Amino acid sequence: MPMSFIQALIDSKGEEILEDWLATHHADGLTRRDLFSDAQGRQHAKTFFLALQSTLNRGADIDAFNLASDAWADVRAALAEVTRERVKRGVAPAEIAGFFLLLKYPLFDRLGAGAGTEEFSVVEQVSRLTRMIDAIAVQAMSLCIEERDRIIERQRTEMLEISTPVVDLWERVIAVPLVGTLDSVRAQEVMENTLGAIVDREADIVIVDITGVPTIDTEVAHHLLRTAAAIRLMGAECIISGISPRIAQTMVHLGVSTNGVTTRASLRAAVHDAFQRVGLTVVNAKA
Amino acid sequence: MPWHSCAILQPLDDPWPPASAVLFHRQPILTESDVVLGRQAVGRAMAEVGAREVRRIRLVTAVSEIFRNALRYGGGGEAVIFLDRVTKAVLVECRDNGPGIEDTALAMRDGYTSGKGLGMGLGGAQRLTDAFELHSRPNEGTRVRMMSRA
Amino acid sequence: MAHSAGLFLVDRIMLVTIHEDINDSDIVELQDQLAVKVHAKGARGIVIDISALDIVDTFVGRIIAQLAGIGSILDAPTFVVGMRPAVAMTLVELGMTLPDVRTARSLGHALAQLRDSPTIG
């Protein structure tokens, strides 16, 4: 029976196949001792292999192989577990695909045992196994990419959060120190965070400090002014501070009008200004 | 129908509506209350696809401009709102059978107005959406299609 | 207009609340009524609360700017209060920064400013 041959093979020769599979990993340099131990590598292979074995023993049909179907759910789950674990440890997508693809060879090597029976075709078995294992490797690859996308997205969000902090300076006074290059996406983020903070912290004055912004173009200048305009619409005051001589020159050359927006050369001047407006004075206690 | 003039600043994908979209609401735009009902429906559609407040308000403001134009300058029309749960987007089409717009590219420019407005409606609506197409034929009407993701 | 907006005179300050379902005619009617009432009651200030307004588009923005203009001609400084962050962001994107309209974070802030201002009787 050609159908059950693979199932019988994987069931009866499971131990050997698993060992051979691990040996091919080793030979192909896929045992990354820098990333995980041999025991962990073995564990990954075993988890997947046992899931495959039990799925076949339960009667899952290789001819009707469909990784997305219920019959193959355990294989899918084991594949996902192993892949995620490996991605997390820094294994490259190609190596992860290789991990599954190499399972072909210990299986191919044992197809000879079935030869001789009339209905048995080695070519047919090779094609079945190839179809199944390739699909598994492709699925592993796409999981890798998904997992990486998730990591990149998380890091991007974290970076946006770090790069646009809103600082409580005093009661009713908040500061938004901007550092680095501002692009449209970040400028939008700055605007959202700042306006949200006005509500959350009941701020009357917002200091947007651009001391750490090296250069500015028309687009970014307009974003800053739009932020200032939105702050005013919400009923708070905006002071833009830390405008370097170069940025001041650029803004004038670009024809950007700062009409209606308070600007201060330094953060210090802006803080002084803000404190005055909320009725605070700073005194030297030693004098 | 062949359009006389169109301004496509951010083109929509073909076809319209997308295969994965479902009809959410049809709103005749014949009275001022219809404009309010239409924009409330768009707000509900955005909430349905899980849009944040900023995203929801941007699209609702954009459609408010367009629906009002259809009522005032187009003599009324109809808005059709689609939901796409796959791409998490809301798509809105607004048609009128009014006099149409001779030069849509000019109409999209800030400051342009044929009526009493400030002339920021069309250009503004375009800036507030992720895709925007304006098609018009003099004496036959105007069609605006918009799409915003959640 | 009955339910989509409200006008209340408190301590000679005209409080205006605008609701979410207001339509274009309602808001134009509101403008008429406000001008008449401010003049008749000798209001010394106007506070427009838009916290219940879901959106402010160019039409509503223009009406608000006109209300403020009318207020200032009638010697009743006009404040807009309660604009939500998302509404403020959308308005500036539309190019409407309402430069001649005074704003305050809340009704309390606006009242305090109306009280403190020396030019406001």
Per-residue pLDDT of C59-106, as tens digits, reads 899 889 999 999 989 999 999 999 999 999 999 999 899 988 999 999
For residue C85, give the nearest of A232, A234, A260 by CB distance.
A234
Tell me the pLDDT of chain B averaged across its residues.
87
* Domains of chain B: total: 1
Backbone angles phi, psi at B133, to 5 degrees: -130, 135
Pairing mode of beta strands A237-241, B77-84: unpaired
Contact B54 C89 (CB under 8 A): yes
- Tokens 């938004």 -> residue: A176
Q: Which domain does B57 fall in, by range?
A: 5-149
Residue B104: closest CA among B13, B10, B4, B11: B4
Å between C7 CA and nearest CA of chain A: 21
Helix (H) or strand (E) holding B96: strand B89-96
List of residues 6+ apart from A270 with CB closer than 8 A: A207, A209, A239, A241, A242, A264
ipTM of the complex: 0.91
Tell me which chain C residues have a C-beta less than 8 angstroms from the C-beta of A232.
Answer: 97, 103
A188 or B113, higher pLDDT: A188
- Is residue C85 assigned to a domain? yes
Contact C109 A235 (CB under 8 A): yes
pLDDT of the residue at B115 = 56
Residue A206: closest CA among A175, A235, A233: A175
Q: Cα separations (Å) of C29 from A56, A61, A134, C58?
A: 76, 74, 71, 17
pLDDT of the residue at C120 = 47
Q: Which domain does C10 fall in, by range?
A: 5-116
Q: Quick check: helix, strand or coil at residue A213?
A: coil
pLDDT of the residue at A180 = 81
Q: CA–CA separation, A274 vs A207, rounded Å?
A: 8
Residue C36 CB coordination number (10 Å): 10
Contact B54 C85 (CB under 8 A): yes
Helix (H) or strand (E) holding A60: none
Among A154-168, B90-104, B107-121, the range of highest mean pLDDT? B90-104
Per-residue pLDDT of A38-55, as tens digits, reads 888 888 899 999 999 999
Tell me which chain C residues have a C-beta less than 8 angstroms from the C-beta of B39.
Answer: 55
Q: CA–CA separation, A110 vs C99, rounded Å?
A: 82
pLDDT of the residue at C119 = 55
- Tokens 């009651």 -> residue: C41
For residue B124, give the nearest of C24, C26, C95 by CB distance.
C95
Contact yes or no for B18/B139 (Cβ under 8 A): no
Assess A222–C contact: CB distance below 8 Å, yes or no.
Answer: no
Return the amino acid letter for B99: P
Per-residue pLDDT of A209-248, as tens digits, reads 999 888 888 888 888 899 999 999 999 999 999 988 888 8
Per-residue pLDDT of B42-76, as tens digits, reads 999 999 999 999 999 999 999 999 999 999 889 99
pLDDT of the residue at B105 = 74
Domains and CATH numbers, chain A: 2-158 (1.10.490), 167-277 (3.30.750.24)
Helix (H) or strand (E) holding A66: none
Q: CA–CA separation, A206 vs A238, rounded Å?
A: 5
| Residues facing residue A277 across a β-bridge | none
Q: Quick check: helix, strand or coil at residue A286?
A: coil
Residue A243: closest CA among A220, A266, A272, A219: A266
* Domains of chain C: total: 1
Q: CA–CA separation, A210 vs C90, rounded Å?
A: 24
- Is residue C121 assigned to a domain? no
Residue C93: closest CA among B119, B124, A183: B124
Per-residue pLDDT of B118-147, as tens digits, reads 455 788 899 999 999 988 888 888 999 999
Residue A187: closest CA among A204, A153, A164, A155: A164
pLDDT of the residue at A252 = 87
Å between C39 CA and nearest CA of chain A: 26
pLDDT in tens, chain A (287 residues): 444 688 888 888 889 999 999 888 888 777 777 887 888 888 889 999 999 999 999 888 888 888 888 889 999 999 999 998 888 888 888 888 999 999 999 999 888 776 666 667 888 888 889 999 999 999 999 999 888 888 888 887 777 666 678 999 999 999 999 988 777 778 888 899 999 999 999 999 999 999 988 888 888 888 889 999 999 999 999 999 998 888 888 888 887 777 778 999 999 999 999 999 999 988 899 87
**Rounded (5°) CA angle B50-B43-C63:** 140
Which chains reach chain C with 3 or more Cβ–Cβ distances below 8 angstroms?
A: A, B
Could you give the angle at which helices A122-163 and A2-12 cross, rounded to 10 degrees?
60
| CATH number, residue C18 | 3.30.750.24
Backbone angles phi, psi at C9, to 5 degrees: -100, 120
| CATH number, residue B11 | 3.30.565.10
